[in-house]
């Protein structure tokens, strides 16, 4: 009885190890596909965009939505309840249109990383402005995002991430007007 139980235990462990090993192989394949996808789009991502340049976000050559930064300007308004004391506050005005995406398109500060002239990654700053809305297929929306710059700057860099988790990123260099 002991031999039978020991053999059963050994066989069970072998099946478990083989199953784990197959899972690792499929994970490696997934990683390679993602890396290959990233290298194919690198040339596209190297272009640096500016104010008024329209970005088209496409999947399988089908344009899903367009995105454009309309302006970057200094804001003299300060939030009396905000504890941070930024060197400057900038307002980024942008718009987007859901051209052909079945899901609503919503773009906000979650899609942005802002870097000031000194190379500092900047935080959002709580101010008023126009709030972006979810845009169903065929609709447009626009919004304002405010950022507190740590150093006085004449321009900012903005990284736009169309997909929150992975995917290509678009780089902007934007003068402050």
How would you classify the pairing of strands 121-124 and 112-115?
Answer: antiparallel
pTM of the model: 0.74
Written as six digits, the tokens of 10 are 């050994």
Written as six digits, the tokens of 8 are 């059963």
Q: How far apart are CA 28 and CA 31, in angstroms?
A: 5
Q: What is the pLDDT of residue 164?
A: 73
48-175 maps to which CATH number?
2.60.40.1240
> Largest Cα–Cα distance in the chain?
84
Q: What is the pLDDT of residue 139?
A: 99
Q: What is the pLDDT of residue 46?
A: 81
pLDDT under 50: residue ranges of the chain: 4-5, 20-42, 45
Contact assessment for residue 177 and residue 71, using Cβ atoms and an 8 Å cutoff? yes
Of 122, 141, 138, 140, which Cα lies nearest the Cα of 130? 141
Mean of the per-residue pLDDT values for the chain? 83
pLDDT digits (tens, 9 = 90+) for 82-103: 999 999 999 999 999 999 999 9
- Domains of the chain, residue spans: 1-46, 48-175
């Amino acid at each position: 009885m002991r031999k039978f139980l020991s053999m059963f235990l050994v066989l069970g462990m072998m099946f478990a190890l083989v199953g784990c090993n197959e899972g690792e192989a499929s994970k490696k394949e997934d990683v390679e596909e993602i890396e290959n996808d990233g290298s194919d789009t690198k040339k596209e991502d190297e272009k640096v965009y500016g104010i008024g340049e329209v970005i088209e976000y496409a999947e399988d050559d089908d344009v899903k939505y367009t995105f454009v930064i309309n302006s970057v300007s200094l804001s003299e308004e300060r939030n009396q309840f905000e504890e941070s004391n930024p060197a400057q506050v900038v307002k980024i005005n942008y718009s987007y249109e859901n051209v052909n995406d079945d899901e609503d398109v919503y773009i906000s500060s979650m899609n942005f990383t802002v870097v000031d002239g000194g190379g500092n990654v900047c935080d959002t700053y709580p101010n008023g402005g126009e709030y972006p809305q979810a845009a169903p297929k065929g609709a447009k929306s626009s919004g304002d995002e405010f950022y507190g710059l740590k150093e006085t700057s004449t321009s900012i860099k903005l990284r736009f991430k169309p997909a929150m988790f992975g995917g290509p990123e678009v780089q902007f260099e934007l003068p402050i007007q």
